[in-house]
Structure 1
Amino acid sequence: MEFVNKEYLLLLLLLIPYLIWYFRYRKKSEPAMRMSDTFAYKNVVKSWRMRLLHVPMLLRLLSFVLIVLALARPQTHNSWGNRTVEGIDIMLAMDVSTSMLAEDLSPNRMEAAKAVAAEFISGRPDDNIGLTIFAGEAFTQCPMTADHQSLLNLLQNVRTDIAARGLIEDGTAVGMGLANAVSRLDKSKAKSKVVILLTDGSNNRGDISPLTAAKIAKSYGIRVYTIGVGTNKVARYPMTVGGSVQYVNVPVEIDTKTLEDIASVTNGHFYRATNTGELKQIYKDIDKLEKTKMDVKKFSKHYDNFQPFVLAALIVLLLEILLRTTILRRIP
């Protein structure tokens, strides 16, 4: 154990003047009765109350010491920990093309997909999970990690305007998105390796076809769960016209046949989500996937340990007050 704020330990020096005052000067301020002769009290046996006379003072000192130690902020040493957990390796492949701004899901497809994916990630703390995003191109937003807080932060930063701003080509490169996710799982030693691919369109970009990517996934023993998100007919879509936003109805064109084929080739499953409720249920179904044991090494940097000192100080202080005002009470 180490103390972060060691300077607070100097407060313990205050115990020295207090002890000097208690044993040398305190008695002079206490009421006293003069007697001509104390011979009659010479052999009187001390009662147990007299023997415990200084216990409240000792408890008071102990509570002060414990409070000072708590203020000094005790912490445990850095340590590595190993544990075996049940989990699988998962890559999320998410479509971020501009069509994901359609508002047939609330508030729109992109935000609904992010919210449900975040809930899914939070519910699987023992899995290695990563994130691939794609539009006309694909790249890894977050490699597989057990640090889900970092993954969630990166997920929240995903926006559909990366294509609109020209950072990547717009469109829907389903094959490229799947291939990118597969490349992050090819060296995985987990018994279960899964890609969850979510898109609202059909493949119209990229150098790798969706079925080719699916066959590559199958060769590595990776199962692909595909999700087609969007209504069955038309969707309300915001368009910027002359500096203002106008809404138009655009047709929903999801290549369900290709998504079904990808799932079939890899022994996965195809899902159709026409609203946020269905999307949540799909992730709940996927949550029942097979799990496998894996070793996780976790580094614990610091751990505050002041709580036991505060609790002990409170108990000791209450005990001192109780004794001083009841069985060890002094009159006057």
Structure 2
Amino acid sequence: MIRLANWYFLLLIPFIIYIFIIKKNKSTLKFSSVKLLRSSGLKKTYKHKIGKYIICLSLVILVVALARPQETNQPDVIKQKGIDIAMVLDVSGSMESVDFKPDRLSVAKDTINEFVNERPSDRLALVIFAGTAYTRIPLTLDHNILKQSLKDITTESVNDDGTAIGMAISVGLNRLKKSDSASKIMILVTDGDNNAGTINPSTAADLAKELGIKIYTIGVGTDEAIYKGIDFFGQTTYQRGGASLNEELLQEISDVTGGQYYRAKDPETLSKIFNTINELEKTKFDRDDFINYKELAFPLIMIALILLLLGIFLDRYYYIKIP
């Protein structure tokens, strides 16, 4: 199918035809007689008009080129698979534990980054939380900006200390509830228990169920947290403490929403968990808003210029005009 992007340029064609074909040009040089030229073998023929016709044709083709003819294909129906995902990451102080090398938060960030690379067709959001929660990046297909923001996250990214799991889920729900995607999930990564915030995690999970949002919960860390510090003499010290992870709560959240709970006691297991989630059934959707336009003006311009040069040569130099 051919379309003209600037069709109004075609209105110039009648004027070009009138000037070169219809309009009679009076000769500016008068002869008392042309018998002498004719007697020499040169006769009045239509050959001398060929150059003018070719020039006219070249200008018409140039006008058509200005109208920007384009070859259009049928809309390309692209079948993709994609879901909307809210990544909810715990950045509380306990995520500095070095039972994961170099620490829990760094391993979680690297694993999420790899997961993002595997989801090119998905819209992703990033929520971080400690004693409170906020949206770091709303749902977006610009994964580069999300990965850059993820890279800059530290345990100081949220000022309030604590672990507000209920608030984190609520903020994630706010990112997903207006989504028109057929599939919406939340991936919650934490190493603690809900001990801050004003929203009960069970209440937030019930709301997620009503909205049709699955929550996959991931508990990270071994049974013992290890924190690195510096003593008075500048020596590195390590302090051990018990794990505060509430697995029962995370299991309840995933069960209520139709998700699943995972426990990662080492970086390799955490990576496998995200690979498992990556195998989730994705929603197919068709996109027919891609139409390819092939510009046809450039070949026409080349043809017109060649004809223009040929026409000028024939009209001015090759044929002698007989009045």
Q: TM-score, normalised to structure 2's length? A: 0.63
Please, which of 105, 108, 130 is the counterpart of residue 110 of structure 1? 105
Q: CA deviation at 1:296?
A: 6.8
Name the residue aligned to 2:186: 195
Whether 1:91 and 2:86 are equivalent positions in the alignment is: yes
Please, which of 147, 150, 171 is the counterpart of residue 152 of structure 1? 147
Name the residue aligned to 1:127: 122
Once residues 247 and 213 of structure 2 are traced to their aligned partners in structure 1, the CA distance between those partners, rounded to angstroms, is 20
> Over alpha carbons, which structure has the higher Rg?
2
Once residues 132 and 108 of structure 2 are traced to their aligned partners in structure 1, the CA distance between those partners, rounded to angstroms, is 19
Please, which of 132, 136, 143 is the counterpart of residue 141 of structure 1? 136
Whether 1:214 and 2:205 are equivalent positions in the alignment is: yes
Once residues 287 and 187 of structure 2 are traced to their aligned partners in structure 1, the CA distance between those partners, rounded to angstroms, is 23
Q: Residue 162 of structure 1: SS of its match in structure 2? A: coil
Q: Structure 1 residues 125 and 298 mapped into 2: Cα distance closer, same or farther (>3 Å)?
A: farther
Name the residue aligned to 1:186: 177
1:177 corresponds to which letter in structure 2? A
Which stretches in structure 1 are left out of the alignment for 5+ residues? 1-80, 300-332
Asked if 2 retains the 8 angstrom alpha-carbon contact of 1:88 and 1:290, the reply is no
For residues 57-68 of structure 1, the aligned pairs below 5 Å read none
Q: Structure 1 residues 140 and 298 mapped into 2: Cα distance closer, same or farther (>3 Å)?
A: farther
Q: Residue 239 of structure 2: SS of its match in structure 1? A: strand
Name the residue aligned to 1:236: 226
Whether 1:290 and 2:281 are equivalent positions in the alignment is: yes
Asked if 2 retains the 8 angstrom alpha-carbon contact of 1:93 and 1:131, the reply is yes
Q: Structure 1 residues 189 and 249 mapped into 2: Cα distance closer, same or farther (>3 Å)?
A: same
User: Residues 281-321 of structure 1, C-alpha deviation per residue, up to 9 Å, x if partnerless?
Assistant: 0001100112113467999xxxxxxxxxxxxxxxxxxxxxx
Q: Structure 1 residues 238 and 295 mapped into 2: Cα distance closer, same or farther (>3 Å)?
A: farther
Once residues 193 and 250 of structure 2 are traced to their aligned partners in structure 1, the CA distance between those partners, rounded to angstroms, is 9
Between the two proteins, the alignment pairs up a number of residues equal to 214
Once residues 233 and 192 of structure 2 are traced to their aligned partners in structure 1, the CA distance between those partners, rounded to angstroms, is 27
Once residues 184 and 240 of structure 1 are traced to their aligned partners in structure 2, the CA distance between those partners, rounded to angstroms, is 40
Q: Residue 189 of structure 2: SS of its match in structure 1? A: strand
1:237 corresponds to which letter in structure 2? Y
Once residues 193 and 230 of structure 2 are traced to their aligned partners in structure 1, the CA distance between those partners, rounded to angstroms, is 24
Q: Residue 93 of structure 1: SS of its match in structure 2? A: strand
Q: CA deviation at 1:190?
A: 1.0
Once residues 197 and 232 of structure 2 are traced to their aligned partners in structure 1, the CA distance between those partners, rounded to angstroms, is 32
Q: Residue 157 of structure 2: SS of its match in structure 1? A: helix
Q: CA deviation at 1:240?
A: 4.9
Once residues 211 and 232 of structure 2 are traced to their aligned partners in structure 1, the CA distance between those partners, rounded to angstroms, is 50
1:145 corresponds to which letter in structure 2? T
Once residues 296 and 138 of structure 1 are traced to their aligned partners in structure 2, the CA distance between those partners, rounded to angstroms, is 35
Once residues 178 and 95 of structure 1 are traced to their aligned partners in structure 2, the CA distance between those partners, rounded to angstroms, is 11
Q: CA deviation at 1:246?
A: 2.5
